């Protein structure tokens, strides 16, 4: 039950009645009419812009139109007061019973409160992580993994049919480099070279990857194949070792993702797309549409990309679809550029029936967004809508000091380091406490301290405090039904303190938060909301410490205590609902 949508429907119903009566003209666009929380609750519980957005098409002054709406608004169920503010905003005050009904609804459906149908079952593909299968994932991958996974959970709660996808870049130069590095470690395992030999090759840049994670992979290869790949030209061993390395790396990546609580529905291989001829087919579609030509591009300013060459290439007319330059899809030697594979991959997603695509990328891919969107627009008959979320860097600290890089990776702090240090739930929550496009500091000391400055502790503490209240209530009244069904029968109109009503208002906003966060692809809004709800709950707890009559449990007043227990339980259910979107388990008690 989204109370704001409910009253928006009431308001648009009033407008339609006035149109039917001839008081307002036909053909009014009601899509921008909103019902939302006011900036200041001193003005009311709900505000609407209906008079402002309809005044011009209705040919009326906003305040005159607001006055026209006053009487029918006053007759709406649950409305106790209506007032006009400023140029024509309308504020509504709702009866206390409205909030009590919302709490009763929460107790009835539990953590399903907040489930929405704005998605209407529409399929949406969320592609995230997609780390090259060349080594362990770093903290930047952790952020993308959490943002993508939380967004997928949020979209599912909002009624979309979500597919969580990982794109395996297993056909490019990076996996060739990883295969060469593993082969050299394999030679070391066989005793053909020493560690000093390997490090010297690394220094000469004969191998690109040097982390210790390569050694167990090389050992497994040696155990399986013996010295089969110890001799011969690269052409003989590169492809089989690469296939082996990709499989081993993906197993390691999936294991790390599982430790973070992330599981994808689909893994799509770049190599498989090439083998199936899908790159050829995608480029042919562009050729047939007259969107390809042979040309020579000017060298770009700054760093020259790998796919640029001062020779004739097959170019895609990306500038016709909003990109800055036309893009090469085929090199002069006939091989495809990386972008050609990416075009085929996105076309494949569209061919699978996805009209809505979300990609979660690192901020270093920002220059790639326009060209991919241009390619998608080029497939006019089957074009999808693409949103790209760029995740900024994560700085790992401990008490404000940079944390040393992992021995496992050799060059960076791994995602597994974070999980092993503080646990998956802390990692997941903290990664969502900033918008994805803002840099984030992950300080081991701060994310584990037990203060209100630590958002994950503050929210979990609110849930744990609520559970402790119930344990005490069970001791006080062992025979009373404290189930959700039982509490829904409590006299909820006894919740009359302004701060109690404030908590109920915030709880009632949860379905609206779900819808807005899902439609804007901003899962961090859930973290902000949970922080606000937890802060209000803690304030209510502290108020009871200062005034005995406001405590949750009053031994001499069971009806009020049951009403407050219902409130406490409602807060816990909403927090659990929000944490569920994040894939975080609510705690029963703090240890």
pLDDT tens digits for 41-76?
888 999 999 999 999 999 999 999 999 999 999 999
On average, the pLDDT of the chain sits at: 93
Q: Provide the pLDDT for residue 312.
A: 85
Segments of the chain assigned to CATH 3.40.50.620: 123-168+263-391
CATH 3.30.1360.70 correct for 3-94: yes
CA 44, CA 78: separation in Å to the nearest integer? 13
CA 167, CA 128: separation in Å to the nearest integer? 8
- What is the separation of C-alpha 473 from the centre of its chain, rounded to a whole number of angstroms? 37
pLDDT digits (tens, 9 = 90+) for 227-247: 999 999 999 999 999 999 999
Nearest CA to 552 out of 578, 570, 535 is that of 570
List the single range of 150-164, 291-305, 326-340, 559-573 with lowest mean pLDDT: 291-305
Q: Provide the pLDDT for residue 333.
A: 82
Tokens of 163: 């597919």
CB atoms within 10 A of CB 292: 20
Going by pLDDT thresholds of 50, 70 and 90, the confidence category of residue 384 is confident
Q: Provide the pLDDT for residue 382.
A: 65
Determine the average pLDDT of the residues in 181-196. 96
Task: Answer yes or no: is pLDDT of 408 > 60.
Answer: no
Segments of the chain assigned to CATH 1.10.730.10: 455-582
Q: Provide the pLDDT for residue 304.
A: 64
Determine the average pLDDT of the residues in 172-195. 95
pLDDT digits (tens, 9 = 90+) for 348-377: 999 999 999 999 999 999 999 999 999 999
pLDDT digits (tens, 9 = 90+) for 516-541: 999 999 999 999 999 999 999 999 99
CA 118, CA 432: separation in Å to the nearest integer? 23
Tell me which CATH homologous superfamily contains domain 455-582: Isoleucyl-tRNA Synthetase; Domain 1 (1.10.730.10)
pLDDT digits (tens, 9 = 90+) for 492-513: 999 999 999 999 999 999 999 9
Going by pLDDT thresholds of 50, 70 and 90, the confidence category of residue 403 is confident
pLDDT digits (tens, 9 = 90+) for 566-588: 999 999 999 999 999 999 999 99
Determine the average pLDDT of the residues in 441-451. 92
DSSP β-bridge partners for residue 360 = 389
Determine the average pLDDT of the residues in 550-562. 95
Domain at 123-168+263-391, CATH class: alpha beta
Residue whose entry in the numeric block shows the structure tokens 């007259």: 290
Q: Provide the pLDDT for residue 410.
A: 58
Determine the average pLDDT of the residues in 159-173. 95
Q: What's the Cα-to-Cα distance from 185 to each of 177, 180, 252, 408, 438, rounded to whole Å?
A: 13, 9, 18, 15, 39
Determine the average pLDDT of the residues in 252-263. 97
Question: Residue-wise over 150-178: b if at least 16 C-beta within 10 A, else e?
Answer: bbbbbbbbbbbebbbbbbbbbbeebbbbb
pLDDT digits (tens, 9 = 90+) for 266-322: 999 999 999 999 999 999 999 999 999 999 887 777 666 666 667 888 999 999 999
Going by pLDDT thresholds of 50, 70 and 90, the confidence category of residue 411 is low
List the single range of 177-186, 223-232, 403-412 with lowest mean pLDDT: 403-412
Task: Answer yes or no: is pLDDT of 407 > 60.
Answer: no
Going by pLDDT thresholds of 50, 70 and 90, the confidence category of residue 84 is very high
CA 213, CA 348: separation in Å to the nearest integer? 33
Nearest CA to 117 out of 551, 515, 591 is that of 515
């Amino acid at each position: 039950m989204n109370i704001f949508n409910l009253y928006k429907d009431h308001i648009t119903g009033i407008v339609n009645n006035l149109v039917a009566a001839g008081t307002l003209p036909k053909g009014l666009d009601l899509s921008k009419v909103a019902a939302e929380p006011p900036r200041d609750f001193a003005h009311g519980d709900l505000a609407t812009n209906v008079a402002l957005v309809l005044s011009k098409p209705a040919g009326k002054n906003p305040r005159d139109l607001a006055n026209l709406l006053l009487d029918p608004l006053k007759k709406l169920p649950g409305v106790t007061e209506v007032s006009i503010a400023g140029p024509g905003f309308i504020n509504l005050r709702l009866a206390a019973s409205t909030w009590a009904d919302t709490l009763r609804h929460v107790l009835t459906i539990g953590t399903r409160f907040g489930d929405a149908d704005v998605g209407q079952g529409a399929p949406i593909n969320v592609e995230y992580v997609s780390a090259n299968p060349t080594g362990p994932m770093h903290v930047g991958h952790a952020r993308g993994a959490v943002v993508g996974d939380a967004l997928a959970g949020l979209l599912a709660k909002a009624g979309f049919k979500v597919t969580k996808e990982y794109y395996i870049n297993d056909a490019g130069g990076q996996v060739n480099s990883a295969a060469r590095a593993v082969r050299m470690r394999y030679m070391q395992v066989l005793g053909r070279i020493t560690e000093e030999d390997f490090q010297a090759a690394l220094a000469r840049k004969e191998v690109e990857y040097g982390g210790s994670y390569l050694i167990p992979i090389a050992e497994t290869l040696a155990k399986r194949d013996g010295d089969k790949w110890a001799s011969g030209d690269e052409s003989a061993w590169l492809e089989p070792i690469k296939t082996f390395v990709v499989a081993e790396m993906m197993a390691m990546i999936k294991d790390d993702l599982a430790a973070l609580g992330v599981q994808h529905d689909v893994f799509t291989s770049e190599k498989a797309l090439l083998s199936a001829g899908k790159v050829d087919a995608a480029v042919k579609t562009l050729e047939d549409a007259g969107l390809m030509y042979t040309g020579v591009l000017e060298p770009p300013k700054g760093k020259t990309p790998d796919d640029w060459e001062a020779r004739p290439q097959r170019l895609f007319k990306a500038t016709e679809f909003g990109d800055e330059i036309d893009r090469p899809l085929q090199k002069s030697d006939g091989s495809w550029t990386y972008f050609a594979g990416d075009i085929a991959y996105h076309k494949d997603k569209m061919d699978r029936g996805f009209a809505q695509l979300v990609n979660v990328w690192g901020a270093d891919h920002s220059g790639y967004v326009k060209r991919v969107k241009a390619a998608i627009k080029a497939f006019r008959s089957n074009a999808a809508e693409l949103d790209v979320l760029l995740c900024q860097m994560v700085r790992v600290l401990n008490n404000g000091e940079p944390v040393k890089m992992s021995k496992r990776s050799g060059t960076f702090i791994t995602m597994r380091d974070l999980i092993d240090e503080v646990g998956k739930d802390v990692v997941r929550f903290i990664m969502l406490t900033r918008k994805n496009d803002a840099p984030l500091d992950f300080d081991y000391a701060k994310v584990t301290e037990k203060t209100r400055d630590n958002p994950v502790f503050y929210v979990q503490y609110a849930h744990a405090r609520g559970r402790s209240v119930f344990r005490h209530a069970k001791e006080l009244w062992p025979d009373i039904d404290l189930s959700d069904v039982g509490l829904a029968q409590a006299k909820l109109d006894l919740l009359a303190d302004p701060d109690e009503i404030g908590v109920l208002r915030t709880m009632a906003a949860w379905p609206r938060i779900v819808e807005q966060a899902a439609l804007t692809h901003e899962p961090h809004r859930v973290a902000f909301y949970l922080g606000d709800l937890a802060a209000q709950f803690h304030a209510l707890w502290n108020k009871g410490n200062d005034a005995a009559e406001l405590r949750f449990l009053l031994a001499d007043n069971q009806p009020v205590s049951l009403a407050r227990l219902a409130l406490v339980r409602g807060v816990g259910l909403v927090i659990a609902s929000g944490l569920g979107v994040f894939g975080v388990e609510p705690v029963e008690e703090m240890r």
